[in-house]
Amino acid sequence: MIDVLTSYTFLIVAIGTVILAFACGIVGTVSVIKGQSLIGDAIGHATFPGIIFAFMLVGVMETYTLALGAVIFGIFAFFTIQIITDSSKVTLDSALALILSSFFGLGMALKSYVQGHPGFSGTQGIDDYIFGQAAYMLRTDVYLIIIASVISLLLFMLFYSHIKIYVFDPIFSKSVGVNTGLMNFMILSMTIVLIAVGLKAVGAILIVNLLIAPGVIGLLWSNRFPMVLIIAGFSGAVSAFTGTYVSTVYAGFATGPSIILAMSILVLLSMVFGSKGLLHTHRKRNQGVVS
């Protein structure tokens, strides 16, 4: 089992998932703080039919085409949510639930059709996009992940101060010259693109966990934004490595669930032991120093 660690294929795949989780952790923390975690969930599910449409159009499982299909459906879902909430009395959480389930339902229907249709071949691979199967990741899948993650991280670093002020105090940020529309657009595009490239590794159902759980962990340990981001990035990375390892060594374990399991253990530990976690607040309360 140890030789897995030195196997070339494993290393390539692990590098991909680790970098992906690191970037998702950092970008996703913004949604966590803005209280918009479920938007990522809806978009994640909504990308699934995009994958299948893209496959139906070109007839082969080609990395870039499928990712493009996912991005297009992610954007489509986002704007549908906007239109629903802006033009009707439907609340945001209902709109999110509606879009999440109806898009994913569409995806499942398309999947059955495609897999039952003799005209399409190699359709088994579609299943990998539901729960993620890092072991079947191709070199190009990994390259795409690395490109998207590195670009997201660089943009995030470049606009770090803008993002920070924008998320904390949008009106003030506008008054000091931050282009709030651009910031919003940038965060959203990064989220959609990271979801799209990460689908094969983690799957449409669970990808939201990669965006949300790290931020939750970070917030349980620190009350300083840069520190929260770093903790988020690294807890994502550690979970991704563990999950990828487990799913490579034990056949039958999908990668997505394995990563999410590792992440959930970290969340649980942080909830109990974190400096803002249960034990700590409990102790503070007993000492009567809760502020």
Partner 1 sequence: MTRNIIEVSDLSVAYAHNPVIWHINLAVKANSRTAVVGPNGAGKSTLIKSIMNLNKPLSGKVEINGKKPKHALKNIAYVPQKGEVNWDFPTTVLDVVLMGRYVHKGWFKRMNKADVAAAMDALSTMKMEAFKDRQISELSGGQRQRVFLARAICHDADFYIMDEPLQGIDITTEKLIIDTIKALQAKGKSFLVVHHNLDTVEEYFDHVIILNKSVIAQGTIEEAWKKENIDKAYDDRSVTT
Alpha-helical (H) ranges within 59-125 are 63-87, 92-116
Instruction: Give the rounded distance of the alpha carbon of 146 from its chain centre.
Output: 14
Interface residues with partner 1 (CB under 8 A) are 33-35, 158, 161-162, 164-165, 167-172, 174-177, 218-219, 222-225, 227-228, 291
Residue number, 69 or 233, with CB nearest to partner 1: 233
∠ CA 128-132-133, rounded to 5°? 75
Residue number, 21 or 232, with CB nearest to partner 1: 232
CB distance 266 to 242 below 8 Å: no
Q: How far is the CB of 225 from partner 1 (least distance, A)?
A: 5
Q: Which amino acid is at 149?
A: S
CB distance 78 to 188 below 8 Å: yes
Task: Name the DSSP letter for residue 290.
Answer: -
Q: How far is the CB of 178 from partner 1 (least distance, A)?
A: 9
Residue number, 34 or 280, with CB nearest to partner 1: 34
Task: Name the DSSP letter for residue 124.
Answer: G
Rg for the chain (alpha carbons), in Å?
20
Residue number, 223 or 286, with CB nearest to partner 1: 223
Residue number, 23 or 228, with CB nearest to partner 1: 228
| CA torsion angle 18 19 24 25 (round to 10) | 60
CB distance 21 to 240 below 8 Å: yes
Q: How far is the CB of 129 from partner 1 (least distance, A)?
A: 33
C-alpha pair distances (Å), 145 with each of 83, 110, 139, 232: 30, 25, 10, 18
Residue number, 113 or 168, with CB nearest to partner 1: 168
CB distance 260 to 214 below 8 Å: no
Does an H or E element contain 247, and which?
helix 225-249
Instruction: Tell me the longest C-alpha to C-alpha distance in the chain.
Output: 70
Q: How far is the CB of 289 from partner 1 (least distance, A)?
A: 12
Q: How far is the CB of 174 from partner 1 (least distance, A)?
A: 6
Q: How far is the CB of 172 from partner 1 (least distance, A)?
A: 6
Query: Backbone phi, then psi, for 206, in 5-degree steps?
Result: -105, -5
Q: From CA 59, how far away is CA 49, in angstroms rounded? A: 15
Residue number, 168 or 185, with CB nearest to partner 1: 168
Q: How far is the CB of 228 from partner 1 (least distance, A)?
A: 5
Residue number, 6 or 175, with CB nearest to partner 1: 175
